[in-house]
Amino acid sequence: MTNGATVTPARPSRHRCVISSRDASGAGAAPGSPALGPLVSVVIPAFNAGRYLESAVQSALAQTLTAIEVIIVDDGSTDDTLVVAMRLQAGDARVRVDRLARNAGPAAARNRALELARGRWLAVLDSDDVMIASRLEMLTAAGTRVDADIVADNLLVFGDGQADVFLDRATPPGWITAVDYLRRTAIYGDGPNLGYLKPLIRVDRLRAADIGYDERLRIAEDDDLIVRALLADLRYWFEPTPGYGYRRHAGSTSHRLSLANAEAMLAAGERHEAAGVGRAAEIRAALARRRRAFRKARAFAALVQALKDRRLAAAAGIAVADPAAVVLLHMPIRAARDRFLARFRPDRPRQPPPPAPATAAALAALRPFGVDA
């Protein structure tokens, strides 16, 4: 997309079977009619999420689209997550709570929610995030209008006293093709990574393609599912209006690139590349580029771990074998520098610049759910 994403005006064609957009249970009734059950299943995987869970759920229940269900899957939490979830379930019949017997990871929690989902659309809402009230109504209308299988909006990223939209508001609506997505989701690549978007996905089309979340992944499970969906010819539409509030904080799972996580992501990239055999040359090239980026990320994670463990000979070996990993060291070095310098700054509140009008409007819409950048 231009200015942070790639839009393809023409509708991508399907290379396999065409699945009717008509819901078999919906003959003769309007989409989203309460008589048909929920139009959207909002799924909230939650692990030790007691601090933010209520805000996330309340932002879902406040949607202008009322034909929804909210499925909270407690992923073996050890805090008060389950207590909060059960209280929310008692207060609104649209809330359903399920619990995994042990902590199995976000992909397993998503798969359990997908099994339980009764809606036409699946909307993943992370337990520390929130949504603007009109979001689901806007996205389901857009997805129905263009007959998309996947539809996403812009993010409002907030936290640490700051807020901004993720992709440039000048980005036009349009299709995100497999090539577009693969090129803009290479780890540590240039520009915003489209894997951070939180799309709605047609449940029937996921099930028809036999696509679920890969439980071998502890991070990037959403991105992995979208890649496999696009390789299965599901069609992805983007709307530039920010409707999803993405909370940026130190505890966010998406910020943890351990060596184990990097190895799992590389293995997933290799599986994607194998699945792309026989596809168009530009898709194969984009898959190969993503796999190389994952390989560099794994080398970087191994280098950081060796340095933390004071295994200097091992670190030197990694640096010689993959010099690109050394270049990435600027990220932890810069973070450490900033933490060190912060100790000597005057202890006074930061005064961030005022947000742009569009960002300010989105922030105002999220403030009822405790959001204050």
Amino acid identity, position 50: G
pLDDT in tens, 256-278: 689 999 999 999 999 999 999 99
**Rounded-to-integer distance, Cα 222 and Cα 200, Å:** 11
Q: At what angle do helices 81-91 and 53-61 cross, to 10 degrees?
A: 20
**Rounded-to-integer distance, Cα 120 and Cα 20, Å:** 12
Q: Positive or negative, the Cα torsion across 237, 148, 142, 126? A: negative
**Rounded-to-integer distance, Cα 180 and Cα 236, Å:** 10
- Residue 236, beta-bridge partner list: 150, 176
Q: Per-domain residue ranges for the chain?
A: 24-255, 259-342
Q: Positive or negative, the Cα torsion across 155, 159, 163, 168? A: negative
CA distance between the termini of the chain: 27
The pLDDT assigned to 28 comes to 41
The pLDDT assigned to 254 comes to 53
Amino acid identity, position 209: A
pLDDT in tens, 47-58: 999 999 999 999
**Rounded-to-integer distance, Cα 203 and Cα 205, Å:** 5
Instruction: Looking at mean pLDDT, say which of 14-28, 38-52, 244-258, 327-341 comes out highest.
Output: 38-52
pLDDT in tens, 292-326: 999 999 999 999 999 999 999 999 999 999 888 88
Q: How far is CA 11 from the centre of its chain?
A: 23
**Rounded-to-integer distance, Cα 289 and Cα 327, Å:** 18
Are 7 and 1 within 8 A, CB to CB?
Answer: yes
Place of tokens 């520098």: 337
Nearest CA among 295, 272, 297 for reference residue 285 = 272
**Rounded-to-integer distance, Cα 200 and Cα 152, Å:** 6
The pLDDT assigned to 333 comes to 73
Are 75 and 104 within 8 A, CB to CB?
Answer: yes
**Rounded-to-integer distance, Cα 158 and Cα 242, Å:** 12
What Cα–Cα distance (Å) separates residue 222 from each residue in 23, 111, 154, 371? 25, 11, 16, 24
Q: What is the mean pLDDT of residues 130-134?
A: 97
| Top CATH class, 24-255 | alpha beta
Count other C-beta atoms under 10 Å from residue 157's C-beta.
21
- Whether pLDDT at 6 is above 90: no
Who has greater pLDDT, 368 or 114?
114
